[in-house]
Amino acid sequence: MTESARFFDGSGKLHETLREFSKRLDELHIPYAVTDGMALTVHGYARMTDDIDILIARPDLKRLHEALVGRGYKVEFAGGKNIRDTTTSVKIEFVRTGDFPGNGKPQPVSFPSPAETEAVEYDGIKFIGLACLVELKLASGMTGGADRAKDLVDVQQLITIQRLPRAFGD
């Protein structure tokens, strides 16, 4: 079975890495929410992705690095925020509370605190809620240029799959 087929049946390297990494976050008592591609899947729109995106507060990211780097995870480059699982080689990217989606420049929408945002728990893993995911994807797609146009497509797919009413935007 190919890795993409394993991804869609929930048994691939990304899912394996996510299950193990979320356990580590819970053991460290670090609030988090899975966002972007893996969160889309939980909300009904499964599309292939090659990394895991985690919403985390800045101080918790520092604590996470101190606890996990060199213990099954390595930083992508010196001083970088993202890490890689040394067993599965899956990249784990972090978006931090207060940062801005899309082009990263200040705007009305920023990444919320994972401790304060609506989350959906699935299989013991915390995922960002649908309303927040849609808001962040729209902000990213509208400010991120051609590189983030897929975020607008993601929102269109969620609207269709979830049959979101017009009032959802309110």
Give whole-number Cα distances, 76 to 4, 39, 65, 79, 132, in Å.
23, 23, 12, 9, 28
The residue segments making up the domain with residue 89 are: 3-159
Q: Is residue 169 in some structural domain?
A: no
**Residue 85 phi/psi, 5° resolution?**
-70, 125
Residue-wise pLDDT for 57-79, tens only, equals 999 999 999 999 999 999 988 88
Spell out the residues 6+ positions from residue 25 whose beta carbon is closer than 8 angstroms to its own. Answer: 32, 54, 64
Residue 41 within any structural domain of the chain: yes
For the stretch 4-56, pLDDT in tens is 677 676 778 999 999 999 999 999 999 999 999 999 999 999 888 999 999 99
Q: Where residue 136 sits, what CATH number does that domain have?
A: 3.30.460.40
Total domains, the chain: 1
Whether 164 is covered by a domain: the verdict is no
Decide if 48 is inside a domain. Answer: yes
